[in-house]
């Protein structure tokens, strides 16, 4: 396949973008590709190596990445758990943010790895700096978004709003995945109704539900099947490199 960039976009903060990113990375490794995980903005952690680092979580749960440097996957890291704009301002580093440099780094990684999996911070309207939102980064990087959404109450509104925002920019999501990690999962009837509403009003099928995972280094095989539905339909699966 030709090099492509995929962007894991959330309907909100804390919806499971990093878990979905991990599954996508593992899926591509399992299919003979050499993917790369890129987190342009990480907030709520001291550095890429601390316990709250998304990159550390990814690297710790992929055998091929153990011993590699999670810092390679993080461009901007800010301590306060806020939108990047405010977290950077709190740190006195707002002027450090250069959205154009993110695309340069992405192009460098795409020259070595295939595909590049970017993960956003929060939802698509989260501010990056004084001029740009997360959706602007999706557009700038020409990435194909995959939406991570909650499985339960409220997800219809949040998911349809996210899809509508992307489509207003001429960006078509390639898939939607529900994340439902709680010990008490959402009721199956509610999940079915949520899926039905999203399909009815957006035309996009929800690929499936990622439930609780006990061992992130060895997720349930059925979750890879959900990821496969997305990339099968988007015709990106071919010969790995």
Active-site residue set: 39
- Other C-beta atoms closer than 10 Å to the C-beta of 140 total 14
- Other C-beta atoms closer than 10 Å to the C-beta of 29 total 16
Q: In the 3-class helix/strand/coil scheme, how is 211-231 assigned residue by residue?
A: CCCCCCCCCCHHHHHHHHHHH
The Cα 213–Cα 104 span in angstroms is 35
Question: Could you tell me if 15 and 150 are in contact, meaning their C-beta atoms sit under 8 angstroms apart?
Answer: yes
The Cα 125–Cα 161 span in angstroms is 10
CA geometry: angle 106, 12, 78, nearest 5 deg:
55
The Cα 169–Cα 230 span in angstroms is 21
Q: Which residue has the tokens 């804390």?
A: 14
In sequence order, which residues have a C-beta less than 8 Å from that of residue 193 and are 6 or more positions away?
A: none
């Amino acid at each position: 396949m030709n090099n492509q960039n995929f962007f894991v976009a959330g309907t909100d903060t804390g919806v499971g973008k990093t878990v979905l990113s991990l599954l996508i990375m593992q899926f591509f490794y399992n299919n003979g590709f050499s993917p790369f995980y890129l987190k342009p903005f990480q907030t709520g952690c001291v550095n890429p190596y601390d316990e709250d680092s998304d990159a550390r979580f990814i690297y710790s749960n992929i055998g091929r990445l153990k011993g590699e440097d999670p810092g390679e996957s993080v461009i901007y890291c800010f301590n306060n758990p806020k939108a990047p704009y405010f977290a950077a301002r709190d740190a006195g580093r707002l002027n450090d943010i250069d959205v154009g440099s993110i695309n340069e780094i992405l192009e460098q990684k795409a020259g070595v790895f295939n595909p590049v999996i970017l993960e956003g911070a929060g939802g698509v309207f989260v501010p990056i700096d004084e001029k740009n939102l997360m959706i602007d980064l999706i557009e700038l990087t020409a990435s194909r978004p995959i939406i991570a959404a909650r499985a339960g109450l409220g997800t219809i509104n949040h998911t349809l709003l996210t899809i509508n925002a992307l489509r207003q920019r001429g960006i078509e999501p390639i898939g939607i995945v529900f994340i439902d990690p709680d010990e008490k999962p959402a009721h199956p009837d509610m999940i079915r109704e949520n899926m039905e509403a999203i399909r009815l009003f957006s035309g996009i099928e929800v690929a499936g539900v990622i439930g609780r995972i006990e061992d992130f280094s060895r997720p349930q095989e059925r979750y890879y099947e959900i990821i496969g539905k997305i990339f099968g339909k988007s015709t990106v699966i071919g010969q790995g490199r």
